Structures are given as C-alpha cells and as structure tokens.
C-alpha cells in the first residue's frame, strides 16, 4: 500500500494556507494504518505521499492528506488525494459533504476567535463542502486558482477581481461576517460569508463579477480530491 515518493508532486493545493509537514516513513505508515483500521469506507489502494497539519481552528485535530493517485493519470483528471481528520476519538474522511464537517464540529467545536483562524476555516470549509461543480473556493491571489487558460483578458479580470478576505462584523452571539472573492462553477463572486460560533457557514451576499471563465475546479468525487481541468473550448 505504501509507495512513498521521495518528493511527491501534489496535484492540489492544501485546504488551508498554514504550513503542512511531511512525516517520516514510520510515522506515515502508522497514520495510514490508523486510517485504514478506522473503517471510514475509504478504499486506499496505494499511498504515494502524506502531509499533515494541526489547523488553527481545530487545535486538537490533525488533518492528514494522502496522495493516492499520481498526477496525469486520466484525461481531464490531474491526480488525486484523500483528506482525513483525526480527532480525539474519531477519524473522518472529508468526502465533500457538509454532514461530515458538522459532525467534526460537534465533537471538536472550531476555534474562530482569531481572524487568521477564521479565514483558514472558511478556506477549509469551501474546499471540503462541494457543490455539483466543485469547491466553493476563496481566492485571494492567482496562486489560489485552479488550472486556467491564460490570456490578456483573463489576466486582466483576475487582477481586477481578486481580493484578500476582510472581516466585516462580529456580534454577541459569535457570528462573524467576512467579505471575500469566491470561485465556483467558472464564476468569480464577491461574497459575504457568515460563520456561526458552531462553524456553520451561510452566504448572505453573492455578486457575480466574472462568469464563464476558462477555469477548472477543485472537487471531491467519491471521496477523492481531484483537479478538474478547464473544459475544452471554454472562454
């Protein structure tokens, strides 16, 4: 099962921007064995890389991402990973649906007092709770974007549209509103996201600012994180 690459080529960016680390082979083998033994319904046939992080918003939880398919294995599909949360007494496969995240939040409520932790949580949530077209991805710089077909027009749109997330408001109930640029279904939106103290996320404002862009997407399909490449002829 373990076929670790010395320097794995990760096909997707990590779900948060804080530093991730690469465990040694013995620790990697232990983590994979724990995940397989947990019975998460994840079918892990081969692991070519392991990276881990204790996120700011889940200090008692370890995120573990396994490189399960090397890049460029299928047309239109550039590699794949599986992402797990290992918390006190549980191991969960992040499968692209919200019930998994809400269950994790029920076990280990997110810590969202710090703005960095709040932004990291929203990036995480958008990556791991997907719609039919993929992730609801916060994008602040071109490096955040999935693969796209560059052109002077597209480059100009990106330069004029992307912005860093900004905290707008907090209330006494623990709700926080953050403005951000969000990519979904080849459309860039200016959004306001409301995050509750329990970690639920609602989009209370969404204004499409650029549509039908020649961009791919990040997605979770059948438990596997994937890069979906731009559609041929997209413009």
What is the pTM (predicted TM-score) of this model? 0.92
Q: Classify residue 1: in a domain, yes or no.
A: no
**Is residue 154, in this structure, part of any structural domain at all?**
yes
Q: How does pLDDT run across 42-96, given as a tens digit for each residue?
A: 667 789 999 999 999 999 999 999 999 877 655 555 679 999 999 998 999 999 9
Q: What distance in Å separates the CA atoms of residue 179 and residue 181, rounded to the nearest whole number?
A: 7
Whether 79 maps to a domain, the answer reads yes
> Tens digit of pLDDT for each residue in 137-168?
999 999 999 999 999 999 999 999 999 999 99
Domain residues for the domain of 166 are: 25-228
Query: Does position 229 have pLDDT exceeding 90, yes or no?
Result: no
Across the chain, where does the E strand assignment appear? 49-53, 62-69, 77-87, 90-93, 137-138, 166-170, 176-184, 187-195, 201-210, 217-221, 224-228
Q: Which residues are bridge partners to 206 per DSSP?
A: 191
Residue 2 within a domain: no
**Structural domain contains residue 149:** yes
In a domain, 120, yes or no: yes
| pLDDT at position 102 over 60 | yes
Is position 105 within any domain?
A: yes
- How many structural domains compose the chain? 1
Structural domain contains residue 167: yes
């Amino acid at each position: 099962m373990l076929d670790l690459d010395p320097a794995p080529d990760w096909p997707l960016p990590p779900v948060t921007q804080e530093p991730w680390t690469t465990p040694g082979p013995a620790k990697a083998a232990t983590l994979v064995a724990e995940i397989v033994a947990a019975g998460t319904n994840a079918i892990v046939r081969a692991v070519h890389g392991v990276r881990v992080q204790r996120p700011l918003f889940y200090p008692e939880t370890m995120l573990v991402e396994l490189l399960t398919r090397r890049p460029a294995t299928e047309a239109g599909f550039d590699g794949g990973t599986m992402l797990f949360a290992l918390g006190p007494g549980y191991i969960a496969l992040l499968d692209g649906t919200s019930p998994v995240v809400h269950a994790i939040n029920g076990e280990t409520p997110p810590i969202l007092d710090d703005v960095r932790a709040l932004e990291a949580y929203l990036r995480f949530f958008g990556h791991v709770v997907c719609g039919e077209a993929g992730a609801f991805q916060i994008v602040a710089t071109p490096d955040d974007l999935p693969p796209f077909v560059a052109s002077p027009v597209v480059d100009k749109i990106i330069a004029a549209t992307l912005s860093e997330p900004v905290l707008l408001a907090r209330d006494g109930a623990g709700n926080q509103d953050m403005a951000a640029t969000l990519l979904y279904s080849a459309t860039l939106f200016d959004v306001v996201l409301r995050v509750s103290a329990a970690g639920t996320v609602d989009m209370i404002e969404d204004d499409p600012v650029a549509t039908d862009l020649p961009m791919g997407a990040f997605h979770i399909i059948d438990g596997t994180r994937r890069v979906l490449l731009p559609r041929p002829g997209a413009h």
